[in-house]
Amino acid sequence: MQTQHSTLSEQVLGFTVPEHDARGRLVRLDGLLDAILSAHDYPAPIAHLLAEALIVVTLAGSLIKEPGSQLTMQAKGEGGAVNLLVCDYRGGELRGYVDFDAEAVASSGAASDLETLFGKGYLALTFDIVLPLEERTETRRHQGIVPLEGESISRAVESYFFQSEQVPTLIRVAVSGEGRRYHAAGMLVQHLPEGEEGRERLHVKLSHPAWEHVAIMAGSVRHGELLDPALTLEAILQRLFHEEREVRIFPGERMVRGCRCSVEHYQAVLSGFSEADRQEMRNDAGEIVVDCAFCSTKFAIAA
Q: pLDDT by residue (tens digit) across 192-202?
A: 865 444 444 44
For the cut 80, the answer to whether the pLDDT of residue 9 exceeds it is no
Do 110 and 221 lie in a common domain? Answer: yes
- 278: pLDDT confidence band, cut at 50, 70 and 90? confident
In a domain, 63, yes or no: yes
> What is the b/e burial string over 219-228, where b = at least 16 CB atoms within 10 angstroms of the residue's CB?
eebeeebbbe
Per-residue three-class SS string for 49-115 = HHHHHHHHHHHHHCCCCCCCCEEEEEEEEEECCEEEEEEEEECCEEEEEEEECHHHHHHHCCCCCHH
Is the CB of residue 64 less than 8 Å from the CB of residue 129?
yes
In a domain, 78, yes or no: yes
Do 208 and 270 lie in a common domain? Answer: no
Strands 256-257 and 93-100: parallel
Do 248 and 274 lie in a common domain? Answer: no
Q: pLDDT by residue (tens digit) across 10-61?
A: 899 999 999 888 999 999 999 999 999 988 889 999 999 999 999 999 999 9
Task: Find the radius of gyration of the CA atoms of the chain.
Answer: 21
Do 266 and 244 lie in a common domain? Answer: no
> Which residue range is the domain that position 303 belongs to?
261-303
Q: pLDDT by residue (tens digit) across 228-265?
A: 999 999 999 999 999 999 999 999 989 998 777 666 76
For the cut 50, the answer to whether the pLDDT of residue 3 exceeds it is no
Higher pLDDT, 209 or 157: 157
For the cut 80, the answer to whether the pLDDT of residue 104 exceeds it is yes
In a domain, 175, yes or no: yes
Do 230 and 151 lie in a common domain? Answer: yes
Do 267 and 193 lie in a common domain? Answer: no
Do 247 and 267 lie in a common domain? Answer: no
User: What is the model's pLDDT at position 193?
Assistant: 62
Do 206 and 268 lie in a common domain? Answer: no
CATH of the domain at 159: 3.55.30.10
For the cut 70, the answer to whether the pLDDT of residue 205 exceeds it is no
Query: Could you give the percent of the chain with pLDDT greater than 70?
Result: 89
Number of structural domains found in the chain: 2
- 6: pLDDT confidence band, cut at 50, 70 and 90? very low
pTM, whole model, 2 decimals?
Answer: 0.86
Do 181 and 89 lie in a common domain? Answer: yes
User: What is the model's pLDDT at position 202?
Assistant: 41
User: What is the model's pLDDT at position 248?
Assistant: 94
User: What is the model's pLDDT at position 283?
Assistant: 84
User: What is the model's pLDDT at position 207?
Assistant: 59
- Over range 164-172, report the average pLDDT: 91
- Most confident range, picked from 134-138, 156-160, 289-293: 156-160
Do 295 and 198 lie in a common domain? Answer: no
| Cα–Cα distance, 288 to 303 (Å, whole number) | 7
Q: Which residue, of 241, 257, 273, is where some domain finishes?
A: 257
Please name the amino acid found at residue 65: K
- Over range 285-291, report the average pLDDT: 76
User: What is the model's pLDDT at position 51?
Assistant: 96
Task: Report the first-to-last Cα separation within the chain, whole angstroms.
Answer: 58
Do 247 and 276 lie in a common domain? Answer: no
- 2: pLDDT confidence band, cut at 50, 70 and 90? very low
User: What is the model's pLDDT at position 170?
Assistant: 96
In a domain, 1, yes or no: no
For the cut 50, the answer to whether the pLDDT of residue 84 exceeds it is yes
In a domain, 131, yes or no: yes
CATH of the domain at 271: 3.90.1280.10
Largest CA distance in the chain: 70
Do 208 and 267 lie in a common domain? Answer: no
